[in-house]
Amino acid sequence: MSSHGFSGGPAVHDPATLPSDDNVNAYTFCVELDGSQWFLQKGKMISYYGSIEFDGIGHGRLDRLIRTSFHSPLHASDWVVARGSGKMLLADRAFDVNSFDLEDGNLTIRSGNLLAFQPSLALKQSIVPGFLTLIGTGKFVAASNGPVVFMEPPIRVDPQALVGWADCPSPCHHYDHGYMTGVLGGLRALTGLGGASGEEHQFEFVGAGTVLLQSSETLMAEQPMGAVPPDAGVPGGGAHGGQGQQSGAPRLPGQLGDLQRRFGL
């Protein structure tokens, strides 16, 4: 961890002084590749030394890797595999980035907050829409707006501050009693809007585990990412899910949605 000397000029890094799989500063993470592979979210690489290739998830040579480590067709177009040797810097919108180690564990995280992970982890789509679950042993890198705070359940958290959770099997909604009472309560039940404090709705976690919170309520921009298959019993994919795309961010006129995203425009 190198610090920025305020008066003596900034620290200058080269491949020898850059850390290996650690933070350069609070906002930049350095990954060392040595013939190995890392999954990373598209566009989060800011620079690299050495020779590194970035291949889309659909790349034929990656078939085996995808079979073992990537189980999220919805997010396939957002992820790439970096291969080669050298040191690569990752960052995201000047958000705080941190790496975490999982040992034979599981962790569920908001899809926009996950920046990169080692292929020894398997990425799976969470049953909770918009979240991804990592299972196995290895290192991953996550971004958050402000430093991450770790909390022990039982706890109720603000939906916007939630980054993810590890080992807790019980993420559920919690509404304060006020949602039932009065005209405002009725309106709120109908529209999901309004209310007195804006804090009547929380996520509740119980049981053993860890809950990760960010110290602000700024979310990563949600990306429309298609929909889960419209099978019976699949959350978010139910009968009224329909095209799915529509459920994401409102589409601006002239946007082609899926097609446009596929072409990267």
Residues near other proteins, by CB under 8 A: 4, 6-7, 9-15, 24-25, 27-28, 41-49, 52-59, 77, 80, 89, 91-94, 97, 261-265
Q: How many CA atoms lie within 13 A of 40 on its CB side?
A: 25
Q: Which is nearer to other proteins, 41 or 133 (CB)?
A: 41
Q: Closest separation between CB of residue 100 and other proteins, Å?
A: 18
Q: Which is nearer to other proteins, 89 or 135 (CB)?
A: 89
Q: Closest separation between CB of residue 34 and other proteins, Å?
A: 16
Q: Which is nearer to other proteins, 87 or 110 (CB)?
A: 87
Q: Could you identify the residue written with the tokens 């095209």?
A: 243
Write out the E strands in 112-249: 114-117, 121-125, 131-144, 148-151, 155-157, 162-166, 172-175, 201-205, 210-214
Q: Residue 14 has what DSSP assignment?
A: -
Q: Which is nearer to other proteins, 24 or 134 (CB)?
A: 24
Q: Closest separation between CB of residue 13 and other proteins, Å?
A: 5
Q: Which is nearer to other proteins, 115 or 157 (CB)?
A: 115
Long-range contacts of 226-235 (CB under 8 A, 24+ apart): 226/74, 226/258, 227/74, 228/74, 228/125, 228/129, 235/127, 235/128, 235/129
**CA gap 265, 263 in Å, rounded:** 6
Positive or negative, the CA dihedral 186, 187, 190, 192 is: negative
Q: Could you identify the residue written with the tokens 């097609």?
A: 259
Q: Closest separation between CB of residue 263 and other proteins, Å?
A: 6
Q: Closest separation between CB of residue 254 and other proteins, Å?
A: 15
